[in-house]
Amino acid sequence: MVDAESISMKCRRKKMKTTVFSGIVILAMAMLLAICGIASADVLPFQVPETQGISVTTAVVANGNVVHTDDLAWQMTTGPAINDPPLGAIWPSVDGAFAPYTSYMTPGTNGEIAMVNAYKDSINAQQGVTTLQKTVAINTANQVAIEDNVKVSKNMEFIPIEGGASRIVEDEEAMIDNMGQGQLTSSVMLCPFGAGASAYVPLFCNRVTMGSDIDMTQVSIATEMYSRSVAATADVPAELKYTINVKGPQSNAVAGVPSVAIGTVTARMSAHITEGRYFGLVAPGLPVLPDTPSEDVAYSTETTAAGQITQFIKAMSYVSGMRR
Percent of the chain with pLDDT over 90: 60
3-state secondary structure of 16: coil
Number of structural domains the chain divides into? 1
Do β-strands 200-201 and 150-160 pair in parallel, antiparallel, or remain unpaired?
unpaired
Report residue 265: phi and psi, to 5°.
-135, 140
pLDDT > 70: percent of the chain: 79
Going by pLDDT thresholds of 50, 70 and 90, the confidence category of residue 255 is low
CA–CA–CA angle 169, 172, 176 (5° rounding): 165
In this predicted structure, the answer to whether residue 103 has a pLDDT above a threshold of 90 is: no
CA-to-CA dists, residue 145 to 44, 113, 235, angstroms: 12, 19, 8
Q: Is the pLDDT of residue 34 over 80?
A: no
Q: What stretches of the chain show up as alpha helix (H) in DSSP?
A: 4-7, 185-188, 194-197
Global pTM value: 0.84
**DSSP assignments along 232-267, one per residue:** SSTTSPEEEEEEEEEE--GGG-BTTB---EEEEEEE
Who has greater pLDDT, 160 or 257?
160
- pLDDT, greater one: 193 or 55: 55
Backbone angles phi, psi at 4, to 5 degrees: -65, -35
* Predicted local distance difference test score (pLDDT) of residue 285: 66
Q: Give the C-alpha separation, 219 to 168, whole Å.
A: 9
Q: b or e along 44-70 (b: 16 or more beta carbons within 10 Å of the residue's beta carbon)? A: bbbbeeeeeeeeeeeeeeeeeebebeb
The pLDDT tens digits of the residues spanning 159-185 come to 999 888 999 999 999 999 999 998 888
Q: What local confidence, expressed as pLDDT, does residue 35 receive?
A: 37
Sort 284 into a burial class: Cβ within 10 Å, 0-12 / 13-18 / 19+. exposed
The continuous run of DSSP H or E covering 275 comes out as: strand 261-275
Q: Calculate mean pLDDT across residues 141-161.
A: 96
Greatest distance between any 2 Cα atoms in the chain: 78
Q: Where would I find the H helices in 68-174?
A: none
* pLDDT bracket for residue 70 (50, 70, 90): very high
pLDDT greater at residue 87 or residue 14: 87
Question: What's the pLDDT at 225?
Answer: 98
Cross-strand bridge partners of residue 300 = 270
Domain range for 192: 4-320
Q: What pLDDT shows up at residue 40?
A: 53
Confirm if 24 and 310 have CB atoms less than 8 A apart. Answer: yes
- Whether 188 has a pLDDT exceeding 70, the answer reads yes
Confidence of residue 144 (pLDDT cuts 50, 70, 90): very high
pLDDT at 54 > cutoff 80: yes
Residue range 248-265: average pLDDT?
Answer: 83
- Whether residue 86 is preceded by a cis peptide bond, meaning omega within 30 degrees of 0, is yes
The yes-or-no verdict on residue 227 having pLDDT over 80 is: yes
Between 274 and 19, the higher pLDDT residue = 274
pLDDT tops 80 at residue 29? no
pLDDT at 32: 45
Region of 123 (left: φ > 0; alpha: ψ -120 to 50; beta: rest) is: beta
As a whole number, mean pLDDT of residues 185-202 equals 86
How far is the C-alpha of 39 from the C-alpha of 181, rounded, in Å? 13
- Among 55-64, 151-160, 188-197, name the one with the lowest average pLDDT: 188-197
Least confident of 15-24, 46-55, 127-136, 167-176: 15-24
Give the 3-state secondary structure of residue 79: coil
